[in-house]
Amino acid sequence: MSVQLDLFIDSRAVILANQAIDAVLARDAFEAASSIAALRAEAPDHPALLGLETLATALFEWPQRVSDTSRIVALAVWLEQEIAPVARQVLGLRADLLLAAFFRDLARTARGLSYDPANAKAHRAWLCLRCADWAQAEEAALAIPGANEIPEVLHWLAVARHRQRGLAASRPALFALAWREPQRLASVVTALDDQLLTRDFEMFDRACEWEGVEPPELSAWFPAWYLLEHPAASKDVASAKPPATPAATAARLLMHIIELERQLDWEALITLRTQLRLLNSELFSLYMARQAADDWRWQRGEGV
């Protein structure tokens, strides 16, 4: 009889916990509180009880509207640091549904607010990324004046475009970011979790010693190296609007070199190759090694 009673209590607790979870996901604070109270009375030691109470409290305390930037940032940080871990523990894979709803509220509130580097988490683009509204994130990021020159905004654009349209769409933003804040690129590559991009980024790091490049600046040379592996990405280099830095200049040189190779303009090609060699001898050696490999394949009738 006691075994049957335990099973009944356990079954009842599961039902009440599921009801509380459903209410939390529906953002119905009163229904969630009611189900949680019943769960506490039925099974006060239920492992999800404290987490559910935290989420219900968050629902009750969530403001209907927020008008100032600092309050938006504070709420975003609170969601990330305090609510998200509890939600993932209690709701599992469904936690993102609840978090996205909260961030979507903040994104609506942030509509029209100017980009403030000191309060980036209050901008609608970042908030839209947090609720997986990729198209809205891209639109909001592009509306920022000078978007294609601001590393943080380029980061947002790279993620938003990758999630919508894949790696090819994100490359101009990735290249522009590499030139403007190379120290950030590795973390963005990791966040995108793109198998081909990760492979290329690791190959780039191992391609040579990069002795003439300071470690913090190494990723700035990734776009130029990428062109050696993927010449078709030349249009992405042009779209990224290379600044007047050595790494960006190298990418621009390779873009023109690739075009001159198609045109068989050998005189101009020699001039640009010389400029590339003077700019970065290791990159030039990689380029020449690639040319030798391509020539060998042509001789064997394999094409390139």
pLDDT at residue 300, rounded to an integer: 52
Alpha-carbon distance 217 to 247, whole Å?
9
pLDDT at residue 131, rounded to an integer: 96
Alpha-carbon distance 54 to 43, whole Å?
17
Using alpha carbons, list the distances in angstroms from residue 257 to 182, 236, 244: 24, 15, 18
pLDDT at residue 301, rounded to an integer: 52
Q: What residue has token string 């990330």?
A: 80
Q: Which helix (H) or strand (E) holds 217?
A: none
pLDDT at residue 1, rounded to an integer: 39
pLDDT at residue 275, rounded to an integer: 96
pLDDT at residue 296, rounded to an integer: 42
Chain centre to alpha carbon of residue 273: 35
Q: Average pLDDT per run of 10 along the chain, which is 304 residues long? A: 43 91 97 96 94 97 88 96 98 97 96 94 97 98 96 98 98 98 97 97 95 95 96 94 96 94 86 95 93 55 50
Q: Report domain extents, the chain.
A: 1-61, 62-132, 146-304
Helix (H/G/I), strand (E/B), else coil: 26: coil
